[in-house]
Structure 1
Amino acid sequence: MHNFENRRDRYEAFASFEKPLVNLSFELEVPEFRPFCKERGLPPFHFFLYHVLHGLAGIDNFMYRVHKGEVIKIKDFWASYTVINQDQNLNFARFEMTPDLQEFVARSVEAKKVAEASATIINKSEDLSDYDKRRNIHITCMPWLKLTSIEHPIYEHKDYDIPSLAWGRFSDPRDDGKLTMTMSVQAHHGFVDGYHIHLLAQAIATRLAQTMAQ
């Protein structure tokens, strides 16, 4: 928690706000990873999700939460994201994170199938303990749309401490071997500044490039 103590005064300032959130939408530029996935039989969404979530886990600021009135740093979080079920209604996939790429993809694919098959909503935060509710990252992807911005539904802005990420349709392949998408990152401004969102964008691109170079 040493890093947090260096910004506790910033947290206390923003925690007094009625809406202490920062929400940035930006163009994320990453290596074109879809041919790599196709060669190896990896579903692109799950491959990309792996690098997004592990990028988040490597930045302290996205791991801070408020639990029982105190700021804590969680050690890990659920892998979770929105799914459209067979009735074309929203549902939630959730599974335990793992550093192994193949195992992560397998768990993610299975969790998606379970959420797609359920007519009732599953994996709600209300099913978790108070601490496990904090072990969360909200992820949504809208591949049908070129995302420009998003506003997430929030029960109470003042106490909201779970980072929320969204992205839309990927661009067509570029001549320079890159692809882009609009990504939105929302987080408690007491923990996260625009600089940390920049670090996340860098981490995602770097992790993708490193995996593809192996």
Structure 2
Amino acid sequence: MTPLDLPASASIVYTRRMKNFEKRRDRYELFSAFENPLVNINFLLDVPDFRPWCKQQGIPVFHFFLYCVLNTVKQSDNFMYRIYEGEVIRIDDFPASYTVINADDNLNYTRFEMTDQLDLFISRSLEAKRIAEASAKLINTGTGESVREQRHNIFITSLPWLDLRAIEHPVYRHGEADIPCISWGKFGPGADGRMAVPFSVQAHHGFVDGYHIQQLAQAIAERIAAIIA
């Protein structure tokens, strides 16, 4: 969607946000010339231990963390830029999606409408999980969507069985890999009663620097702390 497609007030906001991108267009052009323009950083994400709070509230731990991650990404400007028809655009929303394992022990994809309302997010996430786990067919791959619609995505993978140290995601064409990939592994104990989450962020370096990944990590921790306080 471009400013011409938006109401006047939304068009002003869109234009202002694209001006933010123009400040780093030269960085984008630099990394876009690379055969592989991706930055991939793996680290231990330090967050408050939200598991006791989730237990008290009857909220599944994974889905609470997913809610915090996705809603933080949505408010992180650098993670919302995409490439469409050779030019940079900025998306304002995306569906929630993550991988599950179905009854055949094969990967499948969930997909549901994003919301910042926690209880509604949890219920939608659980229903999407039920559908994806029950399907032998690979679903929610974006088949049938336009190229423009397919830009509205964040790729989420969870490996709760592993003390994740690093991950490399499959890439169809490196030069067009504009959708951030976020992964995490098994939750572990941190210092002073906190949690250490093995965490990985892969993104186009034309949009995202290591500094922005650090900002995202800090904002996720702050969101969790504010909710469980």
The alignment's TM-score, normalised by the length of structure 2, stands at 0.91
Tell me which residue corresponds to 2:121: 104
Q: What is the one-letter code of the residue matched to 2:59? A: L
Alpha-carbon distance in 2 for matches of 1:53, 1:46: 10
Shift of residue 2, structure 1, vs aligned partner: 1.3
Alpha-carbon distance in 1 for matches of 2:113, 2:38: 27
Tell me which residue corresponds to 2:46: 29
Tell me which residue corresponds to 1:193: 209
Q: 3-state SS of the aligned residue for 1:9? A: helix
Q: Which runs of 5+ in 1 are unaligned?
A: none
Q: Of residues 178, 183, 186 in structure 2, which corresponds to 1:169?
A: 186
RMSD, aligned CA: 0.9
Matches within 5 A, 1:42-121: 42-121=59-138
Deviation readout 1:56-77 (Å, 9 max, x if unpaired)? 1111100000112110000101
Q: What is the one-letter code of the residue matched to 2:194? A: K
Tell me which residue corresponds to 2:219: 203
Shift of residue 125, structure 1, vs aligned partner: 2.2
Shift of residue 118, structure 1, vs aligned partner: 0.1
Q: What is the one-letter code of the residue matched to 2:146? A: S
Structure with the higher strand share, 1 or 2:
1
Alpha-carbon distance in 2 for matches of 1:199, 1:126: 33
Alpha-carbon distance in 2 for matches of 1:127, 1:35: 42
Taking only the aligned residue pairs, the percentage that are identical comes to 59
Shift of residue 99, structure 1, vs aligned partner: 1.1
The alignment's TM-score, normalised by the length of structure 1, stands at 0.97
Tell me which residue corresponds to 2:30: 13
Alpha-carbon distance in 2 for matches of 1:111, 1:13: 39
Shift of residue 131, structure 1, vs aligned partner: 1.5
Alpha-carbon distance in 1 for matches of 2:212, 2:106: 33
Alpha-carbon distance in 2 for matches of 1:128, 1:166: 24
Structure with the higher helix share, 1 or 2:
2
Q: Which runs of 4+ in 1 moved over 4 A?
A: none
Figure out how many residues of one structure are paired with residues of the other and give that number.
212
Alpha-carbon distance in 1 for matches of 2:215, 2:111: 25
Alpha-carbon distance in 1 for matches of 2:58, 2:91: 33
Shift of residue 175, structure 1, vs aligned partner: 6.0
Q: 3-state SS of the aligned residue for 1:50? A: helix
Alpha-carbon distance in 2 for matches of 1:175, 1:19: 36
Shift of residue 26, structure 1, vs aligned partner: 0.6
Alpha-carbon distance in 2 for matches of 1:126, 1:148: 32
